[in-house]
Each structure stands twice: as C-alpha cells, then as structure tokens.
Structure 1
Amino acid sequence: MHDRTSLSRRTLLTATAVAAAAGSASALPARASAASSGRIRRLVDRMSLEEKVGQLFVMRVYGHSATDPDQADIDANLAEIGVRTAAELISTYHVGGIIYFAWAHNTRDPQQIAGLSHGIQRAGLAGRVPVPLLIATDQEHGAVARVGKPATLLPGAMALGASESTARAREAARIAGAELAAMGINQNYAPDADVNVNPANPVIGVRSFGADPQAVARMVAAQVEGYQSAGIATAAKHFPGHGDTTDDSHTSLPTIHHTRAQWEELDRPPFRAAIDAGAASIMTAHIVVPALDPSGDPATLSHPIVTGILREQLGYDGVVITDALGMEGVRQKYGDDRVPVLALLAGVDQLLNPPDLDLAWNAVLTAVRSGEISEGRIEASVLRVLALKERLGLFRDPYVTGGGVDRTVGVPEHLAAADRIADATTTLLVNERGLLPLNRRREPNVLVVGADPAAPSGTTGPPTTVLATALTELGFTATALSTGTAPGAALVDAAVAGARGKDAVVVATYNVSATSPQRALVAALVATGVPVVTVALRDPYDIARLSGVTASLAAYSWTDVEVRAAARVIAGRVRPVGRLPVPVRRADDPARELYPIGYGLTY
C-alpha cells in the first residue's frame, strides 16, 4: 500500500486529537484560495468536454479492489456499467466520484477499503488530465451505515437527538469523520437534515434528529462542524425536506403538502443551519413540493427549488448533489436519458449513481453539443467540484496509509466514546411500579425475545442475542429467543413457555403497526403476569400500540452500541437520561400526544 503521509489537516486522528481539533468550526477552508482557483481554472481549460462531463458523475462500482476485483464483481460491472473494474470506469468515463456500498463489496474491512481508495485515486491521477476523486458513502450511523465493524459504529441521528447534546453530536461526527478519512473516504452523505414530523414516514424516521426544526438545525450544524473538522465533506440531505411523507422516494414519487409558510417554519431551518456551518455539499430529494414548484417536477429536477431557493434565496454556492438517480422518485416523469440533463439545468453539480451510466453520460454530452446546455454551465459545476477537491487537499495528496487505519479505525478510545455517547440516548417511557432497574434483584433471571430485523453494519448478531449477551455480562441470567418481526402462534407459545419462572421478559420490538403480530406476542407475555419490558429498536412510536407493559425503552436503533446501552439502563449501570426528540401520538387518536417531545423518565 502507498505509504505517503496524508495532509496534516486530514491526518488520521485518535479520539483525543480529534477532540483537540474542535476549536475550529471546520478544518476545510471556506473556499479555494485565489492561487488554487487559478490552478483549477487552468485544469478545466485542459479538459475535453467528455472529461468535464465525467467530473459531474458519481458512480457505483463492484469490487474490493480498483484493479483486481473478484470475477463475480467483474461480471456485475460488465453487465451494469460496461467496464471491468473501477480503474477502467475512471479511464472510460472520467467520473469525478465513486460511491461505496457494502452490497457492491467495497467495504469488507478498513484495510481493504483504504487499499481500494488508494487504487481509485491512483487511477484518477493516471488520466490525461490528472484529477483525484471524491470517494463517498452513506455513513449516517444508526440505521444506515455502509462501513461496519471493526470500524466504530456510533448512535444514529434520532438517538443523538434524544441526547439533546450538540457536543455529543459534534463528537460523534468527529470520530466518524476521522475513521472515514483514515480509509480514504472523503465525502459522507450525512447529516440528515430532514425534520421527521410524520410518524408514518417510511424512509426517514430515525435517520432524522427529530421533529423540532430548531433542535434538528442545531444538531445538523454540530455534525457538519464535526465531520468537516476531520477533513470530511458533508452532504446535508434531502433538500428541500423529506420529513413529512408517507411514501418512499426509492419506490415512488412522494408529494410534500406543506405550504410555503410551513416549509419556511418546518423544513428550512436545518438546511439554513447547514449552510451557515459551511456544509461542503447539499443533496436534493426526489419529492414534489407544489408550494415551492407547482410543475410537478421532483425537487432534484426543479429550477425554482435548486436555483431559485437553494442558490439564490439561501445563497448556497457549494456543491449540490442529486440523490441516487436510480430511485423511482426521479424516474417516474422522465426517462433515464432526460433526468441528468434536467438535473443540470435545475442547477445541480453532481449526478449520483445513474442506473445506466453510458446513457446518462452521452445524454449530457448530446445536450451540450446541441446547445440545450451550455459548456459554460457544465464548467460552472466542474469548477465547484474541483474546488471541493482542492479544499479537501486531494490535489496535494489523496492517499492514506495502512498504518493510519490501524491508528484510527475502531481504536479503544473511539469505541469507549461511542458507548459513552449511547448511554446518554436511551429513553425510558414507562416504568410501572419502579420495575427498572432490574439490578434490585439478585442475579435477575430474564428471557429476551422479539424482533430480528435485517442486520445493519453495526451488529454482531440478532438484537435479542446481543441484548441477552450484554445482560449476562452485567450479571444477569439471560436467555434469548428470536421471535422475529412477525411471530406466529408457535413462537408466541414458545415465548410464553419460556417466560415461566422468570423475573422479567424483555421484548425487542421493531416498528409495531396496527396489524403487527408483535402486538399479539406482547399481549400474550403480559397475560402471564411476568413483568414485560419492551425495547423499541427503531422508531420510538411502538409503545402507542402496546398495552399492559411494565416498562418501555426507546433505543432508536438495533445496532450493538445502542442495544448494549439499553441493556445498561435495564441493569441499572447507567441512568436513563434520553428525551424524546419526536412526539409519540396515541394510536386511537393521533391528534393527541401520548408522550410529548422532551418526555423521558429516569430513576
């Protein structure tokens, strides 16, 4: 692996050194210097049209290596992109960025990720016009994380919102940013700036810091500062705000029915805060907001929204990136050849992960050659993208070292900080008869049952197993029975049988709906007379549909760090101090609040 020393402000920091860097709001210069701007201008002047257009695309690619991926990944690249490797993708299409996914086998382990990043940068600098790449991923933490263990996994946005601490949000971002930088990832599609005012939101939920616009704004600004103090470009998302929808833009085209006044009050503040904090980039949403643009176009393709509001009214001159162009929300009204052209005409700079790169790339070239898009318009976006690369120090040294990975990723200081931050997030909603903490009993004997959602990157096993193991390590006698998110009669009966003679049953729940079989499981366990403790593994709204439980916690994620924190609260090792960042409404009367924002018990 390349062994050059990274730029000082991108040095791979331990938690202590990262914390020391907090004095600066952002380690990224506010903008390129006059000298570097001149160098960038001369670089653009050397580029062909094809190279300029390529700089605007950020693309997926399969494989753990830039030049030597597994055969299955070569086959997938040939089928989807028409190239064999990441290096060939860069030389053929001159792409300005690569996005990493776990499912594309880009993120097996930190050393491999650093090697892949090295190979990608070497390919970029080997071009006729040498240009380093923006290497990005979605590492929001909590429910969305592309890089897993042994990297440090931290509480996600809503958990941090429950902590009510901008200092913790900033620290989490600094740690996460330092580890991403160590692996050669220089752009993170985070933080989520959506205000989750709709409990039925199927795509945002715990990815949001909460439902209070001003509280979300403070958290967003803190995370922008934290990430960028570690040399990571942030991408606040999803402009103009995806928090109030019952549709998922991955599979449909949602409509946000806020009036302009409601948008100003609810959705705008976090993006204003991100801009004021110096966010390096902002990601658009594939949503229709008639009050902002009555045309019916998704925001990603809307000139009134991207240029009129984001650029002109909010004064944002950083990089604007689309959400992924393979999502159905941006494909329903126009074909895949028109989407990238319309996005550029709307005012975006980066085109993220089109389903057919060759079609999209050639469509933009054709639009320029026909005069639909001026070459000056293309150059304006290229200049913004290259200026961001300059701010990140990529032209001077885009490489990271294996030693830097060892010194930074998943180090004990970071893991301890993750646990400490998580301890401030768990929210206690119900505690009848003072059941918790359970440590009042001698060696409590508990059964842990419940949901087993698909494992995110931050888990070592089913949440029930992680929770039982954590309780055992804390002095309990704990056994696990995974009943899943839709337990049938046989599993319910097994849980009831297993509850006999126990001091308590802990039930891990996951997004309990009106028709969820999880309700029958909880009701059957309550009927045994054994105290029932529920732990909501994702959205904190589950308790509204569960009656008769003795105690209830909100953990905000099923990653190990948050599940272990819930175990420490149950065991009495830490006191619950988290407060709801969203209201929990009554299931029988959604107009009334069961628990308001800021609610949380302690003992």
Structure 2
Amino acid sequence: MTAGTPLSSPNSTPTTTTTTPTTTPDSTVVTEQHSPALGVLMPGFVGTTLPDWLAELLRHGLGGVCLFAHNIVSPAQVAALTGAIRAANPNAIVAIDEEGGDVTRLHQHDGSPFPGNAVLGRIDDLDVTVAVAREVGAQLADVGIHLTFAPDADVNSNPDNPVIGVRSFGADPASVAAHTAAWTSGVQAAGVAACAKHFPGHGDTSTDSHVSEPVVTADAATIMNRELVPFVAAVEAGTRSIMTSHIRVPALDPDSVATFSTTILTDLLRDRLGFDGVIVTDALDMVGASGTRGIPAAAVEAVAAGADLLCLGQRGSESEVAEIAEALMSADRAGRLPAGRLVAAAERCLGLAQWAAEHRPVDRSHTTATYERLTDPQRLAASFTLSERARSALAADTRPVRWVRIDPELNVAVGVTPLGPFFDGGAVPSLVVPVDDRAVAAEYVAEPGVTTLVVGREFHRDPGALDAAMAIAERSEALIVDMGYAHSDHVDIATFGASRRIGEALLRLVEESA
C-alpha cells in the first residue's frame, strides 16, 4: 500500500503487492507487504528534522510519528517537521504528550504556559477546563500536530502515587469525570484528538510503569466505581482515542498487564464501555511493557489484545521498526492474531488521521482571549493552599524576596523542565540545591531584612530535599513552597503544579504582598 491508499476491509486479506524493498543496515527488509503492520506503528526518533529512514517508512505507510522534547526547538521548526511528515504520508498521525501542565513537550524547554489538571480540579470551573484544553489544542494545531496524549483521566486515589499526582484532576471520581469530559471536548473543538489515559486507571499504584510493573490491588467493584468513571465520561464525550497502561489489575485480569489483556481492552473497553475509537498503547519501550518480553513481542501481544496504535518510544530506528513490523506480519500469517485484527487496527488509525484532517480550526483569536481571561494568575493563585504562617508573612511583609530552588528528583513523565517560577525571565534563585548535593543548602545565609522562599516539588518523596528546606527555613525563617501535591506538615505554600503558568501565579502572589 502506498501512502494515502485505504486499507482493505477488516475481514479481507492484506495486499501482497511486491515492490522494491528498502534494506536496512542489518539487512532487515521493509516492503509494501508490511503496510498493515506499519500502519499501526508510531515510533519516535532522534533529531529535529525528519530522517531519511523515517520518511521512507512513512512512504511505505507508517501509521504515525510521536514527537518528544528532543525533537522540538521552536514552533516554526515543529511546523516544518510536521509538514515533512505529512508530505511523506498525508495519512500519518503526528502525536505528542502535551497534557497542559507539568507534562509538556511543546514547552519543555521554557515551561508550560498552562495550569495543570490538579489546579483545574481545585478551581472546579468546567469553563476554565474547556478553555485550557482548547488553547492547548489550538497551539498544537498551529504546528500540525493531530493527537495529544491527554487528558490524564486517572483518579488520584493513592496520594503517594509516584507518577500521576498533579497530572490528575483529583481524588473524587465524579469530579475527575466531569473535568475529563470538559478537557476532551475543549481540545477536540480545536481540531486535535484527545487521548484519555491511562486505562483502566493508574492512580492507585505505588510504583511507576516507566521503570517497573505496577499492580492495582483494589477489588473489581472499587475499580468500576472509581477508576473507570472518568473513562466512561471520556467515551461519552467522544474522545477519539484512549491510552492503555502497563499495569496489572488482578481484579480485572489476573494474568495479563492491561496493555496485553483482551479482557481489559476488548471485553471491557470495547464491548462493555462501548468505545469504538483508537486504542493507543503507552510507550512499549517502558519496563512495564517490554522489560521481560522485548518490544516486538509486546507489539504482537498488544494488537492481539485489542490495541490499534503502538507507541514505540522515544528513539526509534529503521531496523527496530522493521523488526516489529515483521513480528506483526509473522504473527498474522501464523494465526497468532485474530483474523482481520491487524488490518482493522490500521484502518482505525487511518480513520483518526482523516478525522484530524477534517477538523482543522479556522480562527483561534477568541480561544486565546478566553483562555487568558479565565486563567488570570490571581485566580490561579487562589487555588493554592497557604499555612497561617505564610498568610501572616505575605500579608505583613514588605521586605525584598530571595528565592532558593531545590531541584526535584527526575520524574520520567515530566522530564527536565523549568521548575515553577524559575523560567527564563522569572525568579532568579540566590541558591540552587541540586539533586546530587543537598548539603549545599548549608551555604545559604539569609540577608538581613529579606523574605526567603524555598521552592521544590513533592518534598515528601525526597527526605534530603525536605531536610535541606527545613534547615534553610530554621536559619532564615523562610517559607517552604511545594509545587506538587504537598504531604508534609512543614510546607507553607502548596501550588499543586509546577508549570510556568503556575510559577507566574506564585510570583504574582508574592509580589503583590511585597
């Protein structure tokens, strides 16, 4: 199949037209015969321009490309990149992980201009949530991106969850459901497909599927009445896609990780919840997916279970994609995939790309104006929690402000991005306490007549960071600011997000009191 040619029906036999093969360095061959398999694959790549190998696979029918922070320099560069992808295959899906908050790819280098889900849940105004999502979508549409892996529909049912936290709208299923539906409607109104994640719910885990295989131990009734409620709302709101999670949920399927579970993806999501859009896997290079089986085997298991679009990870290669495509075709030929399953999956992916092409927005001026009005920094700051000590200090203090930045431990989902107010042009720290040397906190000595704010994220996860913050606070009567979910009694200000937009709100709060 050449790019742009519709696939055969789900019950038909894939085309066997032979063309001149493309030979990879290790002699792996990609031909037109691989097109049904290529049509469900979405690799990442290294670089800021389209590599020749990826352009060639796109011409052979590669289903999509996922962009990461290392692929992004500027809006103009991203637009040129997505234009090159569409030129190679007009029906390729261009996706990105842009949640509108701490998890950002388009703005990872300078900080996200959006408040995240936890703040939106605390404001609890669905009009604000719609406006944020619509502005996220408008920015993505401007640079040619079709699909964003958002909203995060997880209920933050375990407050110590190491990977969800502020990415969730909150701990109440009904509230999370309402905001999930609102975010879905907003981003899709901008012509960008939503992807509710991480099905069937990653919020009640104690480990991160990027580096392990988490287990949800809740019973089936709890999962149905808690974790699944926002996903039902997303389906009812018309989400074009839903992302799987690499977690075990024994109450639903005692044998398989969700991404590889027919019970969870087909019986529950397709048949019981009635979802007929694209099922996208979380990245298959994550430990929770391929740590014990390898990516080609993971790809086969995911498609067999009901997944349609396979996110392969950040740093793909021609040989890797070819190996995965051949594993899928071999499994199809050997009957290890249900009859018609591979072609049906590729057709769903094609349908998603065509939906995006038909839903391009015309004018975003009203969208941006509404967004700016509804996310005024003062309104965002009203969602913060302040201790009595902080309220008293900020109300009475007119002294100069000094900032200390305590760098948080790396969160794989968030990546490396400016912490809250420390974006270019924002607050300038008097001291930076790095992850690998918390002892430098002892170097900070407060100047006479200043107010010190010590800023970090989720101090309860990093005892060394909390000790450093408390040592500074004791010596200088500093205020401790946690830009995540705060679970420490020593925190004076909790912002429930560390994006640039939330950092601006924090700066406004402090400046107006100074």
Quickly name the TM-score band, shorter chain normalised: 0.7 to 0.9
Measure, in 1, the Cα distance between the counterparts of 2:293 and 2:435.
37
Shift of 1:165: 1.6
> Quick one: which amino acid aligns to residue 49 of structure 2?
S
Shift of 1:341: 1.4
Q: Indicate which of 475, 485, 510 corresponds to 1:539.
A: 485
Matched with 1:517 is 464
Give the RMSD, CA atoms, in angstroms. 3.3
CA distance change for structure 1 residues 458 and 558 in 2, over 3 Å: closer, same or farther?
farther
Matched, 1:162 2:109: no
Paired residue secondary structure (2:506): helix
Using structure 1 for the length normalisation, give the TM-score: 0.73
Q: Indicate which of 417, 432, 435 corresponds to 1:482.
A: 432
> Quick one: which amino acid aligns to residue 401 of structure 2?
V
Shift of 1:55: 0.9
Shift of 1:235: 0.7
Q: Deviations over 1:47-99 (max 9, x none)?
A: 55521221111111223222xxxxxxx6xxxxxxxxx443123135x211100
> Quick one: which amino acid aligns to residue 558 of structure 1?
A
Shift of 1:178: 0.6
> Quick one: which amino acid aligns to residue 505 of structure 1?
T
Measure, in 2, the Cα distance between the counterparts of 1:142 and 1:353.
24
Q: Indicate which of 235, 241, 260 corresponds to 2:201.
A: 241
Measure, in 2, the Cα distance between the counterparts of 1:434 and 1:425.
12
Paired residue secondary structure (2:345): helix
Paired residue secondary structure (2:210): coil
In the TM superposition, what are the counterparts of 1:198-209 in structure 2 within 5 Å?
198-209=158-169
In the TM superposition, what are the counterparts of 1:585-600 in structure 2 within 5 Å?
none
Measure, in 2, the Cα distance between the counterparts of 1:481 and 1:457.
22
Q: What are structure 1's unaligned runs of at least 5 residues?
A: 1-37, 67-73, 75-83, 126-131, 471-477, 575-603
Measure, in 2, the Cα distance between the counterparts of 1:434 and 1:247.
35
Paired residue secondary structure (2:326): helix
Paired residue secondary structure (1:540): coil
Matched, 1:213 2:173: yes
Paired residue secondary structure (1:99): strand
Measure, in 1, the Cα distance between the counterparts of 2:279 and 2:298.
15
Matched with 1:587 is none
CA distance change for structure 1 residues 158 and 375 in 2, over 3 Å: closer, same or farther?
same
> Quick one: which amino acid aligns to residue 483 of structure 1?
V
Matched with 1:101 is 68
On the 8 A contact 2:7/2:36 being kept in 1, the answer is no
Matched with 1:445 is 400
Q: Indicate which of 85, 96, 113 corresponds to 1:120.
A: 85
In the TM superposition, what are the counterparts of 1:253-268 in structure 2 within 5 Å?
253-268=213-228
In the TM superposition, what are the counterparts of 1:70-81 in structure 2 within 5 Å?
none
CA distance change for structure 1 residues 165 and 484 in 2, over 3 Å: closer, same or farther?
farther
CA distance change for structure 1 residues 515 and 268 in 2, over 3 Å: closer, same or farther?
closer
Q: Indicate which of 184, 209, 226 corresponds to 1:224.
A: 184
Measure, in 2, the Cα distance between the counterparts of 1:416 and 1:57.
40
Measure, in 1, the Cα distance between the counterparts of 2:394 and 2:215.
44
Identity rate, percent: 31
Matched, 1:505 2:485: no
Paired residue secondary structure (1:337): helix
Matched with 1:304 is 263
On the 8 A contact 1:154/1:422 being kept in 2, the answer is no
Paired residue secondary structure (2:157): coil
Paired residue secondary structure (2:151): coil
Shift of 1:226: 0.3
Paired residue secondary structure (2:106): coil
Shift of 1:221: 0.5
Matched with 1:493 is 442
CA distance change for structure 1 residues 307 and 508 in 2, over 3 Å: closer, same or farther?
same
Shift of 1:433: 8.0
On the 8 A contact 2:280/2:311 being kept in 1, the answer is yes
> Quick one: which amino acid aligns to residue 35 of structure 2?
E
Q: Indicate which of 260, 263, 281 corresponds to 1:322.
A: 281
> Quick one: which amino acid aligns to residue 507 of structure 2?
A
Paired residue secondary structure (2:453): strand
Q: What are structure 2's unaligned runs of at least 5 residues?
A: 17-32
Using structure 2 for the length normalisation, give the TM-score: 0.85
Measure, in 1, the Cα distance between the counterparts of 2:308 and 2:504.
41
CA distance change for structure 1 residues 60 and 488 in 2, over 3 Å: closer, same or farther?
closer
Paired residue secondary structure (2:94): strand
Shift of 1:464: 6.3
Matched, 1:89 2:49: no
Shift of 1:515: 6.0
Shift of 1:181: 0.5
On the 8 A contact 2:131/2:371 being kept in 1, the answer is no
CA distance change for structure 1 residues 162 and 468 in 2, over 3 Å: closer, same or farther?
farther
Matched with 1:61 is 45
Shift of 1:492: 2.9
